[in-house]
Every structure is written in C-alpha cells, then in structure tokens.
Structure 1
Amino acid sequence: MVNGFINILKPPGMTSHDVVSFIRRTYGMKRVGHAGTLDPAAAGVLPVALGQATRLIEYTTDADKSYRAELTLGFETDTGDDTGQITRKESFILPSRSQIETVLESFIGKSEQVPPMYSAIKIDGKKMYELARAGITVERKPRSIYIEKISLINISQNTILFDVTCSKGTFIRTLCTDIGNKLNIPAVMSFLVRTRVGTFLLDESFTLEEVQNDTTAAILQPDKALLHLPSLSLSEQASKSFCYGQTIPLNEVNQLQLRIYDNNNIFIGIGQLSSGLLSPTKVMSFA
C-alpha cells in the first residue's frame, strides 16, 4: 500500500472530492483523503493523503494557509464570488492605493468572521450550501479567525489583487465582501489560488496529469505534513516502548506535539511531552 502525501495543484472547475476520486482511481486504493477544502472555482495547493497518511490529515488541516485573491468591486452576489446571482450593484469611485492598503491592513490579527451560506459547513447534518440552494437561510455564528499578513499586489479599474496568510477556517470570499464593506463598495471574490498549506507550496505541487504520468515521483513522505512540529529522536528501546503505546520518561522541554523518530530516523508517530513524560498520541505503522 502507498503511504504518503501528494501536493496536488487543483485545477479550477473540480471539487476537492473530485480530486480524491481521481487519486483513488489512479492508485487503485480507497484510503485517500484531502486536507482543507478548496472551492470548485478556485485553484491551488490541495494536500492529498494516501494510506496510513490519512491519519495525519488533521495536523495538515490545522496549518495556516496562504492565498492570492482578486476581488471585483461594484456588485455583490448570493455566493460571495462572481459565480452567484447578483444581489446588489452600485457605481463607485475607486479609492486611492493608500486607502485600500489601510483597509487591508485593518484585517491583520484576530477577528470574527461569519461563514457564507454557500459553504460546506454542516448544520444538523446538512451542508449549508445544500440549504442555500433550497432557498433556506440559517443563522451562522461568527467564528474566530486570524490573519497573519495581507498585502496589496495590484489595482485596476475595478479589481484589487492581494496576498493573504491566514488561519484555518478563514473564508476568502467573506474576506473580499468584508473588504468591500469597509471601502463602502459592494465586492465579490473573482479569482482565488491557494499558494500554501503549511509546508506544502504551490511551486512544489503536481498537476493531475503529472501524477498520472509518474505516480511514484509525486509521493511525499507522511511526515512532510508535520514539519511545522518540533522533532524528537528516540533510542532503540524507547522507540519500541513508544510503538507499544507506553509512556516514556524523558528529561526534555515540554511540547504539546512532537514528531517522533526511531533510532534509524524513521518516523513512528506523534507524541506529547509533559512533566518529564513522553506520551504517544498517534503511533504510525507503515509495514
């Protein structure tokens, strides 16, 4: 069985689930999953896990993400992007570059964001976009997000191109709408490419055609998704104890999560170190 990650360059027009289905067919295996859903119209980095690596998806999902986005000024839609039905349209005077930069910078830091109705968030077992398509609108609770960095790239007659690095759970469509609100101009997201998910970078990604042409070259080691965590190597005996799920006494600095390697530098799992004791939280077996 293949165990590892593939850094997929998702093309626009495909859902994230479509990509998973493609990988399942290509590799002839069922145990495949993706980390961090991308809108069908969006392109960019989509980490896909195969085999035992699917057990590590949660750590990739938690990683921060980077995007290049374009918003178009002058109208709003029911979906927040330019594929939806126009709900509001206004003429406007394009703000100055300094005004736009000031508004963008105001989003840096922690804030609350209301998820869009057209999203995959589930309410009572139903995805919100399914409810929205049925004409049902439900109350959405604001969610805490964090924007680490946002920078203006280009301004045209009615579009603003910008880069943003943010926490998981940030909806860029909603961010575009919110930017428009602060500029007092209706706005939608008109282009989106995800350039990074944790340690998975756009310029290191593989197209579906490249994966199909060379299925081996695209596979990354399972711990590729965990490079944001500190690592710890164990002795032979301690490695065996860890793999048996036993707690190990260690005189090391406390860490909530650690990548654990055996004495041969083989990745064997994730552990938590507290009060001089290393506890296995996820033991991996790739045999």
Structure 2
Amino acid sequence: MNGIINILKPPGMTSHDAVSYIRRVFAMKKVGHAGTLDPAAAGVLPVFLGSATRLIEYSTEAAKSYRVEVTFGFETDTGDDTGKVTQTGPCELPARQRLEEVLATFIGAITQIPPVYSAIKVDGKKLYELARAGIAVEPKARQVHIHDIRILEVRRSTLLLDVDCSKGTYIRSLCQDIGRKLGCPAVMSFLVRTKVGDFTLEQAVSIEEISNKKEAIVLPLDFAVAHLPLVKLSPSECKDLQQGKAVFTQTCPSSLVRLYDTQERLVGIGQYDSTSSLLKPVKILSLF
C-alpha cells in the first residue's frame, strides 16, 4: 500500500496516535504524517503510507490554513486554554476597524517565539518534555510568514479568525501576540486546521470512515506533489535518473519538478540547473 490519507484528526488524539492507528488498520509499519497538530486541535492531518513517506517533506513545507478562536482576559503557560493561568486582566475589545488595523500588522514576515510547550527539540529533548520536568528553556525566536488573517466573528471576549500561514507558525503564539498588541492577555481556545497544501478539510475523512472504507480513501502518492510542475521522461531518461545520473534538457518549467514516465507513473522529484541545462535526481521512487 503506497498512498496518502487526508485524516480529519479529532480533538484529544495526538498526531502520533493517528499514525499508530493507521499502522494497526493497514497492518504496516512504514507510516508517517506531515505537520504535527496539537492534541487539543482538530482538522487536516495528511498521513503517508509506504513509499509515499518519502514525499512527506513536500507537504510539510506547504502553506497551512486554520480557523481559530482567540479568548481574551487571561494567558497560560501553554498558550491555549488547557494550561496553567499565568496572567489575567480586564479586557474590552476595540471597534472592528481597530481590530482590523492590529491584525494587519501581523500579515507578512514576522518574528515569533514558539510556546514553551511545543515539540521543538533542544539538545535532543522536546521543549514540552523539558517544561514538564521543570527545566526552564527559552525557545529561540523564528521568522514565519502570515499570508492573511480574516475576522469571521467578534464577540464580547472572543475573536473567530481564519489564518493562512507558512509552515512553522504557532497559532498559540500568534493569539498571545495579538492579545499583547491589543493590551489584553489572550489564549487560543479553539483550533481546527482547514488546509495543508492541497489537502482540505472538506475532503478529509474521519477515523470511522478509515476503518470502514480502508483502501477506498487512500489518495495516490503524487497528490502530495501536485503543486510541482510536471515533466515527462523517455524510457532512457527514466533509466538514467533512476541510476543517479543527470539528463540534459534545454527547457524545464521550474527548478523543482515531479517526474513521470511514459505510462503516467510518478518516477520521483528532479532539480533543474538552468546553468548546465541538467535535470538531476533529487528523490527517485522504486515502485515498479
């Protein structure tokens, strides 16, 4: 079995739990996921089976979209409403126009400090493991990109937003930073991931559907790289690339491309060097 399952991860299940579940259902070990989703969050979690696991990195790099509820009036050590309260304060949200102005300052490249309770590793240990052990470690700031933020609803002490962002963005940190910009402590109180690259919430399948339908819900492995331009190869070119050799080509639609043989089968991923006009193998799949 080689392919991808677009799982609708329920709240309370970790990304690792989802992978373990797929391993049991399909009785196979080679399974992995793209883009960890917090246990309390729900939404799109692409899980890769068999040879498709070699393409995980291309989905991990993809842009992501979220629907998030921000609750104002307190902060926690985890950045969401499940953590220990570290700060409280009265808060009256400003008019919608002012909210739009503040949110606009987060669009583009921003510097973000990840939550202490996150899966980022420091000296081989995950930050949340160190935090639970009482070891204080200050996460390093990182640059991420917020493509868009849209207000869906404004309530007395909450905001409902849609956020489009780059990989590596922590929505919990974004919620906290929005609150601080408004002068109000804030936490993330609800999160659902609606998109990972071409994987959408509308097409995601529930845990129950997976156990009932199995193979019927497995997507072809090239779904993960559908955003890359396509290049068709001759049999001799396929053979050279599969042997690790570069092939000469005068034109190529992009520097990174997906490669197919004459039978429309995905061969792998190639990198084009316009200076030498050589198409080099980056990742070749051995499926046939």
**Equivalent AA in structure 2 for residue 88 of structure 1:** Q
Alpha-carbon displacement from aligned partner over 1:96-147 (angstroms, at most 9, x marks no partner): 1111111111111001111110000010111100111122221221101001
**Equivalent AA in structure 1 for residue 285 of structure 2:** M
Per-residue deviation, 1:68: 0.5
Per-residue deviation, 1:253: 3.6
Per-residue deviation, 1:256: 2.7
Question: Which position in structure 1 is the counterpart of 2:97?
Answer: 98
- Find the aligned partners of 1:91 and 1:75 in 2 and give their Cα distance: 8
Question: Which position in structure 1 is the counterpart of 2:22?
Answer: 23
Question: Which position in structure 2 is the counterpart of 1:178?
Answer: 177
Within 5 A, what are the aligned runs for 1:51-200? 51-200=50-199
Number of residue equivalences: 286
Question: Which position in structure 2 is the counterpart of 1:226?
Answer: 225
- Find the aligned partners of 2:102 and 2:134 in 1 and give their Cα distance: 33
- Aligned to 1:38, the other structure's residue is in SS state coil
Per-residue deviation, 1:254: 6.7
Per-residue deviation, 1:148: 0.8
Mapped pair 1:276 → 2:277:
yes
**Equivalent AA in structure 2 for residue 204 of structure 1:** Q
- Aligned to 2:17, the other structure's residue is in SS state helix
Question: Which position in structure 1 is the counterpart of 2:45?
Answer: 46
- Find the aligned partners of 2:29 and 2:220 in 1 and give their Cα distance: 19
Question: Which position in structure 2 is the counterpart of 1:207?
Answer: 206
TM-score (norm 1): 0.98
Q: Is the CA contact 1:254–1:276 (under 8 Å) kept in the aligned structure 2?
A: no
Q: Is the CA contact 2:92–2:156 (under 8 Å) kept in the aligned structure 1?
A: no
The more displaced of 21-30 and 125-134 is 125-134
- Find the aligned partners of 1:256 and 1:33 in 2 and give their Cα distance: 27
TM-score (norm 2): 0.97
Per-residue deviation, 1:236: 2.1
Alpha-carbon displacement from aligned partner over 1:157-184 (angstroms, at most 9, x marks no partner): 1110000110100000000000001100
- Find the aligned partners of 1:35 and 1:105 in 2 and give their Cα distance: 29
- Find the aligned partners of 1:201 and 1:251 in 2 and give their Cα distance: 36
Q: Is the CA contact 1:239–1:263 (under 8 Å) kept in the aligned structure 2?
A: no
The more displaced of 236-245 and 82-91 is 236-245
- Aligned to 2:173, the other structure's residue is in SS state helix
The unaligned stretches of length 5 or more in structure 2 are none
- Find the aligned partners of 1:65 and 1:92 in 2 and give their Cα distance: 30
Alpha-carbon displacement from aligned partner over 1:51-98 (angstroms, at most 9, x marks no partner): 011111111101110000000000000100000011111112221111
The unaligned stretches of length 5 or more in structure 1 are none
- Find the aligned partners of 1:115 and 1:5 in 2 and give their Cα distance: 29
**Equivalent AA in structure 1 for residue 282 of structure 2:** T
Q: Is the CA contact 2:76–2:85 (under 8 Å) kept in the aligned structure 1?
A: yes
Runs (4+) off by over 4 Å: none
The more displaced of 171-180 and 129-138 is 129-138
- Aligned to 1:214, the other structure's residue is in SS state helix
- Aligned to 1:263, the other structure's residue is in SS state coil
- Find the aligned partners of 2:212 and 2:110 in 1 and give their Cα distance: 44
- Find the aligned partners of 1:93 and 1:19 in 2 and give their Cα distance: 39
- Aligned to 2:28, the other structure's residue is in SS state coil
- Find the aligned partners of 2:278 and 2:199 in 1 and give their Cα distance: 31
